């Protein structure tokens, strides 16, 4: 296990490379999802506010 | 019957016919995206998971580079995606400029940050690979320089897209930048052939076939596939997000109208 983590002595280069990739890709995904959810919530509120009369339709 | 589900026109959109027309195709895209996104998520996870497993545990170390070669399994797929996403943006930009299709602008806007992210991963992982192998974090080598330019093109695209109050103007400016900047893509690809500087020549996509052993090609392509599905997933999410943002803008404009 520790041999694996040491990456033949290159650990200080290999693991940060994978970490940067993970952070950027997960970060983008999380940000995109959060923005989407927030916007959908705003849209829902806006559409509910403009159609109170529809309840009688 | 109160709130409309995404894609179905609201009362306000029916009143203003232009919104209905403008979002007709994007709504179809929304429905498609809703169904495809979960599949893209599963496929991205599966292929990246498989690629990581094979790349880290199964593939052999390199006879010259030792275990540091494993950086290749994020560096190369990220670089491929940086080029692929820019090509998608350039294609969307042509569609936007020539046919004015509204979805094309949204695809370009949604893609740029993802492309910039992949470019950053390629640059940083490349530096981390270059230091032990070349003895330097950076050189003004043909490929490194042109990929850095690609990164700036992405940032410029994002900046232009968001620079104007009118989103259409921003989209148009960004589209022109994307098309003009496309010349950089073949430069990046062929830079290692045209200029014999530090970055190694092509070892996968070259006449005469790959020079990399199959044991390394497999994880490489697994990661590349995984990264592609990841991009498609983010595209679905981010385009949908843009469509919702436009609907919000429309609803707000209509509500503030006397």
Domain for residue A56, yes or no?
A: no
Which residues are CB-contacts of A2 (< 8 A; sequence separation ≥ 6)? Answer: none
CB atoms B68 and A10 under 8 Å: yes
Burial class from Cβ neighbours inside 10 Å (0-12, 13-18, 19+) for residue B126 reads buried
CB atoms A24 and B61 under 8 Å: no
Total domains in the fold of chain B: 1
DSSP element (H, E) containing B117: helix B102-134
Total domains in the fold of chain A: 1
Neighbours of B137 (CB within 10 A): 11
CB atoms A28 and B234 under 8 Å: yes
The boundaries of the domain holding residue B163 are 26-58+67-250
Full-model pTM: 0.88
Domain for residue A16, yes or no?
A: yes
> Which residues of chain A have a pLDDT value below 50?
57
Return the DSSP state at B211.
Answer: -
Digit-by-digit pLDDT tens for chain B (258 residues) are 444 444 454 544 444 444 434 544 677 888 888 999 999 999 999 999 999 999 999 999 998 999 999 999 999 999 999 999 999 999 999 999 999 988 999 999 999 999 999 999 999 999 999 999 999 999 998 999 999 999 999 999 999 999 998 999 999 999 999 999 999 999 999 988 888 778 888 888 888 888 889 999 999 999 999 999 999 999 999 999 999 999 999 888 888 876
Residue A13: closest CA among chain B residues belongs to which residue? B128
Neighbours of B6 (CB within 10 A): 17
CB atoms B120 and A16 under 8 Å: no
Q: Is residue A8 less than 8 Å (CB to CB) from chain B?
A: yes
Domain for residue A57, yes or no?
A: no
Quickly list DSSP for B130-197: HHHHHS-S----HHHHHHHHHHHHHHHHHHHHTSSSSHHHHHHHHHHHHHHHTTHHHHHHHHHHHS-S
The boundaries of the domain holding residue A33 are 2-51
Contact B188, B147 (CB under 8 A): yes
Contacts of B57 in chain A (CB under 8 A): 4
CA angle, B68 as apex, B226 and B148 as ends, to 5°? Answer: 65
* pLDDT at res. B1: 40
- Rounded to the nearest angstrom, the gap between the alpha carbon of residue B219 and the centroid of all alpha carbons in its chain is 21
Domain for residue A36, yes or no?
A: yes
Domain for residue A14, yes or no?
A: yes
* pLDDT at res. A51: 67
């Amino acid at each position: 296990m520790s041999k694996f983590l040491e990456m033949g002595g290159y650990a200080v280069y290999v693991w940060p490379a994978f970490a940067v990739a993970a952070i950027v890709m997960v970060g983008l995904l999380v940000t995109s999802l959060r923005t989407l959810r927030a916007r959908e919530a705003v849209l829902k509120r806006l559409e509910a506010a403009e159609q109170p009369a529809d309840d009688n339709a | 019957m109160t709130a409309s589900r995404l894609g179905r026109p609201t009362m306000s959109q029916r009143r203003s016919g232009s919104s209905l027309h403008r979002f007709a195709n994007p709504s179809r895209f929304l429905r498609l995206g809703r169904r495809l996104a979960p599949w893209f998520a599963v496929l991205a996870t599966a292929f990246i998971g498989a690629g990581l497993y094979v790349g880290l545990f199964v593939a052999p170390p390199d006879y010259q580079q030792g275990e540091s070669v494993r950086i290749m399994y994020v560096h190369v797929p990220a670089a491929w995606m940086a080029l692929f996403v820019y090509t998608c943006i350039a294609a969307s930009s042509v569609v936007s400029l020539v046919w004015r299709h509204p979805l094309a602008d949204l695809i370009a806007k949604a893609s740029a940050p993802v492309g910039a992210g992949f470019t950053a991963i390629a640059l940083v992982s490349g530096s981390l690979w270059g230091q032990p192998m070349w003895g330097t974090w950076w050189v003004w080598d043909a490929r490194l320089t042109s990929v850095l330019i690609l990164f700036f093109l992405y940032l410029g695209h994002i900046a232009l897209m968001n620079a104007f109050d009118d989103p259409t103007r921003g989209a148009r400016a960004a589209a022109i930048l994307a098309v003009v900047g496309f010349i950089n893509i073949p430069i990046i690809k062929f830079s290692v052939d045209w200029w014999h500087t530090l970055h190694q020549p092509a070892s996968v996509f070259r006449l005469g076939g790959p020079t990399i052993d199959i044991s390394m090609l497999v994880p490489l392509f697994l990661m590349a596939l995984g990264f592609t599905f990841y991009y498609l997933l983010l595209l679905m999410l981010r385009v949908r997000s843009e469509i919702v943002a436009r609907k919000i803008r429309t609803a707000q404009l209509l509500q503030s109208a006397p």
